[in-house]
Structure formats: C-alpha cells, structure tokens
Amino acid sequence: MISFEKVCKTYRRGGEELRVLASLDLEIPAGDFVALMGPSGSGKSTILNLAGGLDTADSGTVSVASETLNRMSSKALAQWRARHTGFVFQSFNLIPVLNAVENVTLPLLNTPLKGAERRKQAEYALGIVGLSDRLKHRPAQLSGGQEQRVAIARAIATDPDVILADEPTGDLDRDTANEVMELLVRLNEELGKTILMVTHDQVAADRAKRTLHLDKGELADGSAA
C-alpha cells in the first residue's frame, strides 16, 4: 500500500543543508498497522508527510495506493489526498470556527456526495468514534480526547485507503490516549484501514501490528518488512 524506494529528502535553510532521509526503503502492505518510533528530529514526520503527499521527495520513488506521487502537480496531489488519505495530527487541527459535524463534513466536499448524503456520512463517522451526541459542539467546547476523536472521524469520513497519524496521543492523558488507540485498532481490524502512526509512546506502539524504529533517517536493522 505504501512503498518507499531509495527516497532522499534534504532540507535547505539558508546555507545549511540537512539530509533527513538518505536512500530510505520502506514497504507497508495494505491492512497493516505500523507504529513508527524514533528520537526527535529523526525524520518520522518527514516520512509521514511524504507518504501523505504533503511534501515531495528529492529523489527515489514514493508510491501510495498504487500511485507514484513524485511527479504529480500540486492540484493532482490535492485531489489524490482527498481520495486516498486521512490525516490525524498531534494537535488535532480542527477548524475552530466549525462545529464537530461541519468539521467532519469538510473533506466530503471533495467527494461526489450531495448535501444530505454528506451530512449522513459525517454523522455516521462521528457515530463510529462515539460522538453522536456532540454534533453541534465547536472544538473549543470539546475535551482533548473528544477533539482527537472528531479529527479521526474527519480522517475516515471519505473512506480513505490510508490513515496517517502523527503522534495522535501526544497531547492526551493515559486514559484518553487508550481510548484513541482503541479506536485506531478498530479502524484497522474492522474497517481494514492501512495505518501509519508516528508515536513516542511505547504503550501506543504496542497496540500496532508492528513497530519500525527510525534513527538519523535510517530504519533500524530488520524492522523494514
């Protein structure tokens, strides 16, 4: 489902060059649930962003959901993202002026669904994350755990192939983090979503099917499948 082949990524800031990924290979089959761990600055988020088409590789091939992302225009990438990916962020990133159901409806505008169908689909997704009673609440009126569950509902609303989660439990306490992990596991097991999740949390990583360790842009031996 996700496949990196000799992927290089270098950031340039001023005169300095920072080589984050040097010839990275990575293979994640459909239906997998992978936790990506590693020290801060090792390039975890970079991998996630490349896989989600938010950023482009300098060289090598990134293929996700049987499409090669390297040479796509920004417009084509945007449309591809709308069809195939769902993002979950550490700081939730809900749109503050919209309430829960509106936030979840937002990505559905990029689908052929009609207004009423979008609404139904959004309520269904919120039902999956157990927030059917919080449709009209704005992000500011929700707890952190609830916000993240709305964010997950938004990520799955369009029924994407891949869910990319960047430290989804980083801002949550233990109990809430467990609830969110429970949800991700269900998405993987019951709905068959492929999940790539960056985390610092060993407890969270243990819920995944397998864990990859990243250090200085390289995967630790044996962890690449």
Partner 1 sequence: MSGTPWFLVRKHLRVHWVRTTLTVTIVSVALLLFCILTTFVTSLTAAVDQAASNRIVVQSAVSLFVELPLDYHGKIANVPGVESVCKLQWFGGYYQDEKNSFAQFAIDDEVFLQQYENDLEIIDAPPGDGSLLDRVRTAMRADRRAAIVGEGLADKHGWKIGDPVPLTGKIFPKSDGSAWDFTVVGIYIPKRMNVDDQTMYFRFDYLEETLTQEQDQPIGCGTFFVHVAPGHAIDEVIANIDALFVNGPQKTLTSTEAAFSAGFVSMFGNLPLFFGTIGGAIVFAVLFSVVNTMLLAARQRIREAGVMKALGFTNRTVATLMLVESVSICVIGGLVGTGLAWVLSEGIRGVVSVMFPTFAVAPQTMLISLGMSLTIGLLAGLAPTVMLARLKPVEALRSEG
Ligand X SMILES: Nc1ncnc2c1ncn2[C@@H]1O[C@H](COP(=O)(O)OP(=O)(O)O)[C@@H](O)[C@H]1O
- One residue of 43, 53, 139, 168 binding ligand X per CB under 6 A: 43
Taking CA atoms, 62 is separated from 101, 143, 210, 219, in Å, by: 33, 36, 21, 16
Pairing of strands 210-215, 194-198: unpaired
- One residue of 45, 121, 169, 194 binding Mg ion per CB under 5 A: 45
- One residue of 6, 10, 11, 91 binding ligand X per CB under 6 A: 11
Cβ-based burial of 4 (10 A; exposed 0-12, middle 13-18, buried ≥19): buried
Q: Strands across the sheet with 2-13, in order? A: 16-28, 2-13, 59-64, 67-68
- One residue of 55, 67, 171, 179 binding partner 1 per CB under 8 A: 55
Q: Please say whether the beta carbons of 65 and 84 come within 8 A.
A: yes
Least distance (Å) between residue 45 CB and Mg ion = 3
Least distance (Å) between residue 218 CB and Mg ion = 16
Stretch binding Mg ion (CB under 5 A), from 43-51, 55-63, 95-103, 151-159? 43-51
- Say whether residue 169 binds ligand X (CB under 6 A): no
Task: Evaluate the CA torsion angle 116, 120, 121, 122 in order and state its sign.
Answer: positive
Q: Quick one: what does residue 110 bind among Mg ion, partner 1, ligand X, none, with the CB cut-off 5 to 8 Å set by partner type?
A: partner 1
Which residues lie across from 26 on neighbouring strands? Answer: 4
Least distance (Å) between residue 44 CB and ligand X = 3
Within 10 A of 108 (CB to CB), how many other CB atoms are there? 22
Task: Evaluate the CA torsion angle 58, 61, 63, 68 in order and state its sign.
Answer: positive
Binders of ligand X among 17-36, rule CB under 6 A?
18, 20
Least distance (Å) between residue 107 CB and partner 1 = 4
Residues engaged in binding ligand X (CB under 6 A): 11, 13, 18, 20, 38, 40-46
Residues engaged in binding partner 1 (CB under 8 A): 49, 52, 54-55, 74-75, 78-83, 85, 87, 89, 93, 95-98, 102, 106-107, 109-112, 154
